[in-house]
Structure 1
Amino acid sequence: MESASSERPAKRVRQACEPCRRKKAKCPGEQPICSLCARLNQTCAYAGEHRRSWANGLPVSAEPVSTPSSSENRISQILEERLGNLENRMGEVLDALGQNTSRREQQATAPPPPPPPPPIVLSNAATSATSNPMTPFPTWEKVLSIAELYLIYCHSQPLPLFHRESFLDSLGARDPEIIYAMLALSIRFSSNDCSDPNGPTVLINSYTEVARSLVMRRVSEGPVELSTLQSLCLLSLVDFANGNTHRSSIHCSLAVNLAQCANLGLESHLAQTPATREERRRCFWSICLLKRLHGVDFDNMDFPDFCFPPFPESPSRPPPTSPLTDAGNEARSVGMQDQGIIAYVIMLSEIFAKAARYVRRHGRPSNVPPWSSQSEYSKILTALMERETQMPYHHRFKPANLSQRTLEDLQTRREYWGPWLLNQFLYHTILCLLNHPLLLSLSLRNFRSTIPEIFLQHTSDLISSHTTWIIHFINYFEERSFVVSDPFLGYSAAVVATIELQLSFTQNAAICEEKRNRFYKCVGFVQTLGQKWPHMARLADRLQRLEDAVSASYELESGAQNQYLLIDLSRFWEILEYSSNSDTDSARRMFGDSLYREAPTLGAEVSQTSPLPEPFRLSQQVTSQSPNSQFNIQTPLATGAQYPLGPMGSPRPDVWNDEFSILAANFFSQAQDFLRTGDPSEGFGNF
């Protein structure tokens, strides 16, 4: 208290200076100039005394104050109050400028950031982000050019998030988080920004962080708008592409929860423009589609009242290559309501999510055999066939006449061919997953002596046909030089690659060469997508490491001393599970030490699985079947036996778990004629 009182004037201030009086500010009362006026560098004068001006640091005498009349005094008082307010505001500005002088001096060497585009009113957070030298906001012309790339390579590939016709015109009026998230997703397709290998990565990460900060501020402080959910969908795609699968899942789940709380599934009764109403619907179904494509069996019943908005509007079908052929195709679709190609992608994604859940079970055996109508296998297959009956014929493969479509035809109508191709790949991938030889071998180990012959032939035909269809599309893309931008198509090729790799280990040189060529074809396709999508590049690397590991095991397995060699199945699961939450790198980036714990290492656990028997065909002789393909094959393991150490890890004889490792002898002895070669020209399995 003593130190505080010592700083005050010795006597009580009886009169304030004129500037402080006009501003109604507390005047310190020092004379000849008060400290407040000195700090603001303004003239300080007291009524009834000589006014002093301290301009240039020297006192200048002033004229004595005369007593004005009452009317003049009133006018003068009003003017003085207004002038006082102005001086007060200018003082605040000068204070702020004085505090920021050092900051400006530090930033003087950095180039000034380009101003934001005039049509966008940026928030404080966005404005501060654009001032970051690492996040230069491009010119508005550049933003529009990247937005056009978004419509070409990202719209409906896979998410139909925006109203295409009004997207460019409305871009300037959209919230800044949409702009930044769109830039982060689409700039990878800009040839100018991709000339420097490190340039796109820096820009993508910078734009992503700005968009994320804006979105999280919306979520924490409000108000949450439709643009918030749209941005979360884009950020989920970007994070997934960058390998941050956990954060991608969190963004997607947050969008789901916000959509539920906002009743986005219900049609709004407020007066809205057709484009606004359409984008609400697109946002709802994009959230559902994103959740399902990432392998989550998302149930629409989570939304109230079982009322869902109509499906988004779909682009019209491209003109037919032959009017006569199109008339016949339309005749086959009479009586069916065409809901549009995007609607059928959304419908099919629900079945893919169930197939992804089937994969995550890792072939755990059940008391119900897969050929039973009550099995998960049969239920998914039945749902897939039911869905196929609901799609008009003119959206299927044959009426599309792809062989007669040029690159220009495909490129100019990507808004249709993008979702059409996704629909095709979803269909064939579901069937490849359901009939994957590894999953079947694991799930059927409790039914070795009772497997129906017709089931073996059924699965043999399905896996042969639908892997061939994926290879057929990859060859078609190469022939047409068509740029595929949807990363899900790369996942489909990776699934086929794991099948072809398993079937390539045979003594038959012709079959081995054919399967290896198909494997490399799929890996090359995934690598091409990896040039734009980092998670596709990692997927291609995983496929190559899988080939190296399995090939090394195959060379060692022939020796008698290596009859109990193990193959680590975790290498398969990290490929077959499109959205794997077991990604250690992603988890370490997301969680701290107090929360995250690595899963126990289970790669050494042994599978008791024996190879599937081969289906009998007329071209075979029963006597030519190998002993390992008979129905009564026994597992070459005995509890308590000691097994030698293999390159993939040593077995633990006390724990038998089939999800993580499989005996190399069982893995390689799949009869090659169990899977015959299919021909896409036959039209079998044509969706």
Structure 2
Amino acid sequence: MSIGTASRLKTLRVLIRQASPAASDTEDADVDALCYWSVFILEKAFSPTYTVLSSQDDAPALPSNPCLLPGVSEPAFEAVQIGHQQTQDPKAGIVSSSVQIISIWGDICAYLSSIRKGKTEVPWSSNSTYSQIQVQLHQFELDLAPPHRFENILVKQRSPSELHSYGEYWSPWTIMQLTSHAALTVLNHPFLHLVALRGRECRAQPKLFMQHIIDQSLFHTGWVIRLLQTFEEMGLEINDPLMGHQVAATAIIPCLFQFSQDQQMASKAREGLYLCERFLERLSVKWPHIRHKLNILRQLHSAAESRPDSSTITFDQGYFWDILVSPPSYGAGDGSSPLAATSAADDPRSTLHVTTKFVQPWPDEQTRLVSQVDPPFFSQPSASNDEQILLDDLFSQFQRSEAVSRQNNKDVPDTLAFQARDTLTPRGAFLTGSLDGRKELGTGLSFQ
């Protein structure tokens, strides 16, 4: 209610100023911009289903950006630009990037809310909401200026004094980094695609699409957890309830995969879930609705601990929806009884059976490349040297073969096509069954 009131008051203020243009000046314009974008962020973050400002075409310019961190802008930009054509001014500020990704996050939450109300779609179709949000996320990646990217920010080289001095930069940077990965995690959430979008009739889904869903959810879950570790190492104090919502939604995935029959995957999932719960515990002191989500996760976690040898979990879908889409509500009190009144009467119970099988064993120690960026938490298993084929090498080989074939009036050998298919299959993918003598990609998750 408060956000809606603020949105309408801001809209009224804009209309009044448009009716009296002589009353405006530069200082008032800056105040208007700050007010507009603050309410815009609140709408997208906490009331994405009912927005007012996002539908307006005459949005003011974004507020001024904090200074770029020293030692980042020029060297990092030059390193990234080799062989690439930048689509945006490299000096683009962190504020615009953070507002852009928060807006996309709001669209994802509105998408989840519509599914929660029974509206389903075919997500792999080109005109689906899922595909449209994917396009927005791809555009965000193109628009993000290189100096603000994780690999260029040189986090491990930042001193505590520098972190304190540039607090105005780190605040939007942390929310931008976490939201960019949490958005892809939630958009590709296994619960969303294996349960909610299938409907009660359990519509069939392409296995390649479901393989993509599982790969993306695990990969970006790994990055969310890796970022939480990084924020701890940096000593950043985070009290943002939006980030708490994102971490809670992400934590469902390791909560599911702790039931994996693969013991290394299950152990890794439990470790990731613990890191998420520890982050949420700190935020729950100030935000009761985060405590509510945390208690639901702990209830699911305790169910796994009580059945350590089981790969099956039965749950009410309403509990997952409470974590994914429930808005901040202080009616939950201290969250001491989160499972008592949250599940709607029409939410069915679902049974999850987790079966994971990896192409290669998951190694405890991985060979890490010399880089400023550590691999994500759920990183893919390392492969032998003969399996590590770079895409550039693969495509250049294809071009050479194609040129030779044109010269000899021959077709490109079929073996190259199979080589490309095998090389591009994600390492660590779940492989089950067979199809016409070829390996069939499976999800590793099944719901009943």
* Structures share fold, TM-score greater than 0.5: yes
Match of 2:299 among 531, 534, 545: 545
1:433 Cα deviation from its structure 2 partner:
0.9
Amino acid corresponding to residue 172 of structure 2 in structure 1: P
Identify which of 15, 31, 36 aligns with 1:284: 36
Q: Which has the higher contact order (CA 8 A, sep 6+)?
A: 2
- 2:225 alignment partner in structure 1: 471
Letter in 2 for 1:315: P
Does 2:90 match 1:358?
Answer: no
In 1, Cα distance between the equivalents of 2:218 and 2:183? 14
1:402 correspondence with 2:402: no
Structure 1 365/377 Cα, relative in aligned 2: closer, same or farther at 3 Å?
A: farther
Provide Cα deviations, 1:549-592, integer angstroms capped at 9, x if missing partner: 4655x57978xxxx9x84112221111125156x7547xxxxxx
Contact 1:281 1:311 in 2 (8 A): yes
- 1:358-401 CA distances to partner (integer Å, 9 max, x unpaired)? 22244677674211112121111112212322332222222212
Q: Equivalences for 1:286-685 in 2 at 5 Å?
A: 286-297=38-49, 298=51, 300=53, 302-303=55-56, 306-321=57-72, 324-329=75-80, 336-337=88-89, 338-362=91-115, 368-442=121-195, 443-444=197-198, 449-453=204-208, 455-549=209-303, 566-579=314-327, 585=332, 601-602=344-345, 605-607=348-350, 666-667=446-447
State the one-letter code of the partner of 1:577. V
Partner SS state of residue 410, structure 1:
helix
> Contact 1:265–1:284 (CA<8 Å) still a contact in 2?
no
Q: Judging changes above 3 Å, is the alpha-carbon distance between structure 1 residues 448 and 412 closer, same or farther for their aligned structure 2 residues?
A: same
For 2:268 and 2:332, locate their aligned partners in 1 and report how far apart those are by CA, in whole Å: 35
Cα contact 1:265–1:308 (8 A) shared by 2: no
SS state of the match for residue 529, structure 1? helix
Measured in 2, the distance between the counterparts of 1:434 and 1:604 equals 21
What amino acid does structure 1 have at the position aligned with 2:266? C
Of 343-352 and 357-366, the range deviating more from structure 2: 357-366
Q: Secondary structure of the residue that 2:315 maps to in structure 1?
A: strand
Deviation at 1:262, TM superposition (A): 2.2
Matched, 1:263 2:14: yes
Structure 1 residue matching 2:4: 3-state secondary structure: helix
Give yes or no for the alignment of 1:252 onto 2:8: no
TM-score using structure 1 length: 0.47
Shift of 1:603: 6.3
**Aligned sequence identity (%):** 24
Q: Partner letter of residue 602 of structure 1? A: A
User: In 2, Cα distance between the equivalents of 1:367 and 1:481?
Assistant: 42
For residue 509 of structure 1, report the CA deviation from its aligned partner.
2.1
Classify the secondary structure of the residue corresponding to 2:9: helix
1:458-491 deviation digits (Å, cap 9, x = unpaired): 2232112211111111111222222223232222
Decide whether aligned partners of structure 1 residues 537 and 352 sit closer, same or farther in structure 2, where only a CA change above 3 A counts. same
Distance 2:121 2:261 in 1: 35
Secondary structure of 1:524's aligned partner: helix
Distance between the aligned counterparts of 1:535 and 1:511, measured in 2? 30
- Structure 1, residues 213-234: CA drift from partner, whole Å, max 9, x if none? xxxxxxxxxxxxxxxxxxxxxx
CA distance in 2, matches of 1:320, 1:530: 36
Question: Is the CA contact 1:487–1:536 (under 8 Å) kept in the aligned structure 2?
Answer: yes
User: 2: distance between equivalents of 1:518 and 1:632?
Assistant: 23
Please list the CA deviations of residues 396-453 of structure 1 after superposition, one character each: whole Å capped at 9, or x if unmatched: 2222122222222222111011111111122111111111111110114667545142
The structural deviation recorded for 1:301 is: 6.0
Distance (Å, rounded) in 2 between the aligned partners of 1:602 and 1:557: 28
| Alpha-carbon distance in structure 1 between the residues aligned to 2:94 and 2:165 | 17
8 A Cα contact 1:432 1:496, kept in partner: yes
Distance 1:470 1:370, change over 3 A: same
SS at match of 2:122: coil
> Quick one: distance in 2 between partners of 1:313 and 1:333?
26
Q: 1:274 to 1:631 in 2, by over 3 A?
A: closer
Q: Distance in 1 between matches of 2:309 and 2:207?
A: 34
| Contact 1:330–1:394 (Cα < 8 Å) also in 2 | no
Gaps (5+ residues) in structure 1?
Answer: 1-249, 587-597, 634-664, 670-687
- Partners of 2:356 and 2:15 in 1: how far apart? 51
Alpha-carbon RMSD across the aligned residues, in angstroms, is: 3.9
Q: Structure 1 residues 344, 478: closer, same or farther in 2, change over 3 A?
A: closer
Tell me if the contact between 1:351 and 1:383 (Cα under 8 Å) persists in the aligned partners: yes
- What amino acid maps onto 1:519 in structure 2? L
1:399, 1:544 → 2: CA distance? Answer: 36
> Which runs of no fewer than 5 residues in structure 2 stay unpaired?
334-340, 360-424
Quick one: which amino acid aligns to residue 470 of structure 1? V
Larger Rg: 1
Comparing 251-260 and 529-538, the one that deviates more: 529-538
CA distance in 2, matches of 1:302, 1:387: 19
Cα distance in structure 1, aligned partners of 2:87 and 2:135: 23
Distance 1:456 1:632 in 2: 7
Q: Would you say how many aligned residue pairs link Structure 1 and Structure 2?
A: 363
Question: What TM-score do you get using the length of structure 2 for normalisation?
Answer: 0.69
Q: Tell me how far apart the structure 2 counterparts of residues 499 and 350 of structure 1 sit (CA, whole Å).
A: 23
CA displacement at 1:492 relative to structure 2: 1.9
Deviation at 1:348, TM superposition (A): 2.1
Name 1:203's counterpart in structure 2. Answer: none
* 1:323 Cα offset (Å): 5.5
In the TM superposition, residue 521 of structure 1 has moved relative to its aligned partner by 0.7
Tell me how far apart the structure 1 counterparts of residues 354 and 441 of structure 2 sit (CA, whole Å). 9
Q: 1:557 to 1:363 in 2, by over 3 A?
A: farther
CA contact 1:609–1:666 (8 Å) conserved in 2? yes
CA contact (8 A) 1:457 1:615 kept: no
Does structure 1 retain, via aligned residues, the 8 Å contact 2:357–2:431? no
Within 2, Cα distance between the matches of 1:603 and 1:447? 17
Indicate the SS of the match to 2:14. Answer: coil
Return the alpha-carbon distance in structure 2 between the equivalents of residues 543 and 265 of structure 1: 47
Cα contact 1:252–1:287 (8 A) shared by 2: yes
